[in-house]
Structure 1
Amino acid sequence: MSLTLDPARLSRIQTWADRYTAAGKFAGLTVQIRQHGSEVLFVRSGVRGLDSGAPFDRETLARIYSMTKPITSLILMMLAEEGRLHLDAPLSRFLPGFENMRALRPDGSDIAHTDPCPTPTLHQVLTHRSGLSYPFNPGVVPKAMEELDLLFKPTAGTLAEQCDLLATLPLAFAPGQRWEYSVGIDVIGRVIEVVTGDTLDQVFRKRVLGPLGMVDTGFAVPDGALDRFASLYTPLPGDAMDLNAQAADDPALRLFDDADGSPFRHTTCFSGGGGLVGSIDDYMTFAECLRLRGQGLISPSTADFMMSNHLPGDIASLGPASFAEQPMEGMGFGIGGAVVIDPARSRVPSSVGDFSWGGMASTFFWVDRVHDISTVLFTQLSPSSSYPARAELKALVHGALM
């Protein structure tokens, strides 16, 4: 039975948020919570940028990075519903460059140490079991990706060009062998372009952003909205994209990207894996679409399919060596996000079936269909591994269920 969120206990979240900004861990953040479709809490603390002092609020635009992935994945499922593709189709059916694939041998120490392997299926690409990787993961193939700067950045040519370059590399492992967080959803974005004949930004606008009224969300920041675009900070003295690093005990906010010089002003590569910027109200609209089992964009049956665990067990059982935006024990993976299958093993208060994902700048969302709750956290700090804010927020919300 669904429990009700107690307002007095929810008020702890404001105290928690203020602690983060007062300690200099986040410049600013917002939290929005809805239950049964009604907003039960909105919290804001801190600023968009330390130089401007403008409040980090509902109007703030933020980089949502990997929280783009669930939207891209939903669009692919819309195409599947229309009979334009099926999930067991090989990737090469849409992107011929991925024919005749090779994978690094298990003991391979050089990019040339490969064997022939099957082409991954769309399902394997969607669920991070394809053999694709990310430059920040450990290993031979990620190192080669790093040397090519293969991260689908906003100004990295076009999506087609990035996928063509990716296809010249071997897979990190043969498809299906293990789970590894990857640029796979960027590749899915290119599949969507091929199937629809439109660029990914056009598809997003026609199929999701427009129908849901997400007017503040897109792949670039409009000139007229630059004053609303938050600065991105890092607590690290080195690379803000070192997603396996953790902040030191003495937090310091170092500016990594601001509105004036941001690559999100002049986007050419529409990254389905991490390219959107938007407002918290917009993203809550998308989270509510999932809570409402598709809200007309996809059927309730397809929404349930997306938010089910598509792995044979939890992520941890599949031998990942990569970073991920979620715990791996007790967590399965669906189409576009993680699924709680055992809250105790995840060590975070949760409901079985919670569907969630986060982004590199420490943003996070989850949909709890047991208690009919949608929660969204926006902030701008990279890497997202810096602080345990996501686990703490889930504990705060569950602590308010009475």
Structure 2
Amino acid sequence: MDRYVADRKYPGSSVLIARDSAEVYFNAAGARNVEVGLPYTRDTVARIYSMTKPVTSVALMMLAEKGLFHLDAPVSDFIPSFSDMRALIPGAERIDQTEACATPTLHQLLTHTSGLSYPFNPGVLSRAMDAADLIFKPNQGSLADQVDQVAALPLAFQPGTRWEYSVGIDILGRVVEVVSGKSLADFFAEEIFAPLGMTQTGFSVPQGTGDRFASLYTPLAGDAMALNSAKSGGDTLRLTDQFGRSPFENANLYSGGGGLVGTIDDYMAFAEMLRRGGICDGGRLLSPSTLDFMMRNHLPGDIASMGPQSFAEQPMEGMGFGLGGAVVLDTGRSRSPGNIGDFSWGGMASTFFWIDRVLDLSVVFFTQLSPSSSYPSRAELKALVHGAVLS
């Protein structure tokens, strides 16, 4: 961590490790705000971006556990704008080259096999999404409106035929709203964060946070999320978002795919709930069997076998995908130490977590540099942690 700061790769970072439900290690290094010289501390509030996805997946499964729907239900049962879907034909070069297709199911949305995409992926659909700015930013208005705009575009491929990282979990955030009758922010706060004691996590920076909200940096010369036109060069820690000017300080769109901010201790409470099979100090969120179901591989093979043409927060070889995160299938093919069944995901600002139910281990890493593909810190962290585990 010190080396990354000294090399101006990360402004600062923190790591928290728990084993057998007890904290065994914490460290923080560097700055949360380089310009002012504010240190990266344990109570720093950070953008967790796609580490929001496991939270939304838990929310959906909490509702599924009540028997309110089944995962093979088409998303149009809840969001009518997804009726009469079309998909791009193979080899399409224009957004109007389409054919009829089935409506994606909730399960396909959960597993990124729905045919949806992200603006930063390659391809015809991604370019159309980028032109319409369909990225679910915290200041883009109503979630329902943004979801309907996504539904108006064709899918990148026939549902179920490929894996492509997508805004599917944002769509499911809207499903949670429709089924529960609550905003996604209220559902998270009341049904997940309160039982877990996650008082510093939400779609907007918590009141009273002040300058504990970290600044966001990028080594790219252009947009920190424009992966299709990424340009390196110049300052490796170029400031892109900061306290006092950030849309995360007053969010009006609740992105289930990437909208949360919070502290490392809060996220550890969530990770430990997953590892412990749904239990927390405030009760139980899910049953152990549901959590076990979520952390199994839901793909026919590994991610790589499904022909992905997209960015992902994890390696694709030797890695399957469950509901809300990646699952280790083969540690050799994933080229990182660990155990089969390790469950993990990360965020665009280079944050990362994993749980290892073999070792009763939970690890959460926070920093603030986008994109997360800039450096191999996640694999290095796993190697460091497993190098220290002797029994």
The amino acid across from 1:261 in the alignment is: R
Match of 1:170 in 2: 154
Q: Alignment partner of 2:345: what SS?
A: strand
What is the match of residue 60 of structure 2? 76
Q: Do the aligned partners of 2:141 and 2:253 also contact (CA within 8 Å) in 1?
A: yes
State the TM-score, normalized to the length of structure 1.
0.94
Aligned pairs for 1:241-260 within 5 A: 241-243=225-227, 252-260=236-244
Q: Which residue of 2 aligns with 1:318?
A: 306
> Which residue is 2:181 aligned to?
197
Q: Describe the shift of the 1:111–1:200 C-alpha distance in structure 2 as closer, same or farther (beyond 3 A).
A: same
Distance 2:275 2:148 in 1: 36
Map of 1:283 onto structure 2: 267
> Which residue in 1 is equivalent to 2:12?
28
Q: CA deviation at 1:243?
A: 3.9
Deviations 1:69-93 (A, max 9, x none): 0000001001010001110000100
Q: CA deviation at 1:239?
A: 1.6
Q: In 2, distance between residues paired with 1:319 and 1:311?
A: 12
* 1:350 Cα offset (Å): 1.4
The two structures have a TM-score, normalised by structure 2, of: 0.97
1:226 to partner: Cα distance: 2.5
- Choose from 40, 50, 54 the match for 2:38: 54
Residue identity in the other structure for 2:110: L
* 1:1-400 superposed matches below 5 A: 17-243=1-227, 252-295=236-279, 296-400=284-388
Q: Matches of 1:146 and 1:250 in 2, distance apart?
A: 25
Q: Do the aligned residues in 2 keep the contact of 1:246 with 1:386 (CA within 8 Å)? A: no
Q: CA deviation at 1:249?
A: 8.7
Does the 8 Å CA contact 1:220/1:264 hold for their aligned counterparts? yes
Q: Residues 164, 287 of structure 1: CA spacing in aligned structure 2 closer, same or farther, 3 A cutoff?
A: same
- The one-character-per-residue Cα deviations of 1:269-315 (angstroms, maximum 9, x if unpaired) are 00000000000000000000011011110000000000100001000
Q: For residues 96-128 of structure 1, what are the alpha-carbon distances to aligned partners after superposition, in whole Å with 9 as ceiling and x for unaligned?
A: 000000000012111100000000100000000
Does the 8 Å contact 1:243/1:360 carry over to 2?
no
Unmatched segments (≥5 aa) in structure 2 = none
Quick one: distance in 1 between partners of 2:176 and 2:132?
24
Identity %: 64
Give the Cα–Cα distance (whole angstroms) in 1 for the partners of residues 144 and 295 of structure 2: 29
Paired residue total? 386
Return closer, same or farther for 1:309/1:245 CA change in 2, 3 Å cut-off.
farther
Indicate conservation of the 8 Å contact 2:342/2:355, yes or no. yes
Letter matched to residue 74 of structure 1: V
Q: Are the aligned partners of 1:314 and 1:341 in contact in 2 as well (CA < 8 Å)?
A: yes
What's the RMSD between the two structures over aligned residues?
Answer: 1.2
Question: Is the partner of 2:364 in helix, strand or coil?
Answer: strand
Deviations for 1:105-156, whole angstroms, at most 9, x for unmatched residues? 0121111000000001000000000000000000101000000000000011
Q: Which residue identity lines up with residue 380 of structure 1 in the other structure?
A: Q
Q: SS where residue 332 of structure 1 aligns?
A: strand
C-alpha distance after superposition, 1:339-378 (max 9, x if no partner):
0000000001111000000000000000001111000000
